[in-house]
Amino acid sequence: MTKRDIIAIGGSMGAIEAAKDLLAGLPDDFPAAVLMVIHVGARGLNHLAAMFEPNSRLPVTTAVDGDMLEQGHVYVAAADHHLIVVDGIIRLGKGPRENLARPAVDPLLRSVAISYGPRAVGVILSGLLNDGAAGLAAIARCGGATAVQNPADSKASDMPLGALYGTDVDYRGSAADLATVLTELVTQDVETSFEVPADLELEVRIALGRRSDSSTISTIADVTPISCPSCGGVLSQMRSGPPLRFRCQVGHAFTAEVLAEEQEPSVDEAIRTALRIIEERVVLLEKMAVQATQAGHTYSAREYEQRSGELREQATVLRTAVMRPGAALALEMGHSHALTTS
């Protein structure tokens, strides 16, 4: 038997405020290491540690590759690097982005799950989309405890809701409440034995930057007729879940929710392009019909008018398919431009 001694926290939009509240509630003798990933983008300047330190009784630093974890210390992910833990040592991975992010929350949670098992606690704070849902499920799968910020208490509820949908979460509450929960959890005895799933080990290696190709991905996922929005490669559906996830041969990873969100602009653009081409074709056919009529070619004029009418119906279908107000406005502008320049 041993105590829980590793806390992994993830979030994005709204998570900075939540993390400040959580850290403010942890005592200065907190007997566990705390690791934190908050989406900061590839060009972040690693200011998060300095932002958190005034609210924390524990020292807060940006994670450094090769450092040994210390209890009572908070480590914040460095920009453009996945934060990974291997045998109690911090590793900064340059593996492919997950859910369009590096650092991403899932790699941290997976690495903590396979390194610590029941000794680990995973926490998901406020954020958009559902990065972290798969990682929290990995924590639970290896016997660790799980907690989420109450969606109603979150600035952005997507990540807490995604985590709740993805696994049976043990605890939820406000950020301040979660500090109390963590303080209690680290005092509890837990079993040390657990089985490390091979698929989680492979995903951690990918996040570290190890080689990933079709044969590697085929051991944990099945090929689908969907392309990767990051590199154009073929995506494979992960066999473990929920949540529903995909990886390409290069290793880019997406939940279905993030993938759908990323594909939507491409769909809108394709519809806009198709609509523009059809409406330009309508204008051309109408001009051809007028010219045929003037030349006395009645049959040809009727053919051009019929075809232009069919294309107008197709344009109406495409226009109806565009639901978002911004996209509809762009279509109206494109339609006006086509008619003006005809």
| Alpha helix stretches (DSSP H) within 155-223 | 158-166, 175-185, 198-208, 214-217
The verdict on whether 82 is a catalytic residue reads no
Return the structure tokens found at 33.
């290491």
Handedness of CA 197, 95, 44, 245 (dihedral sign): negative
131 among known catalytic residues: yes
Q: Are 160 and 172 in contact (CB under 8 A)?
A: yes
Provide the sign of the torsion angle of the four alpha carbons 229, 231, 236, 238, taken in this order. Answer: negative
Instruction: Identify the active-site residue in 12, 111, 126, 212.
Output: 12
Of 5, 21, 106, 131, the active-site residue reads 131
Phi first, then psi, for residue 177 (nearest 5°) are: -65, -35
Among 66, 314, 110, CA closest to 200: 110
Catalytic option among 5, 21, 39, 212: 39
The count of C-alpha atoms lying within 13 angstroms of the C-alpha of 20, restricted to the half-sphere facing its C-beta, is 10
Active site residue 73: no
Contact indicator for 23, 56 with CB cutoff of 8 Å: yes
> Does residue 335 sit in helix, strand or coil?
helix
Query: Which positions are catalytic?
Result: 12, 39, 131
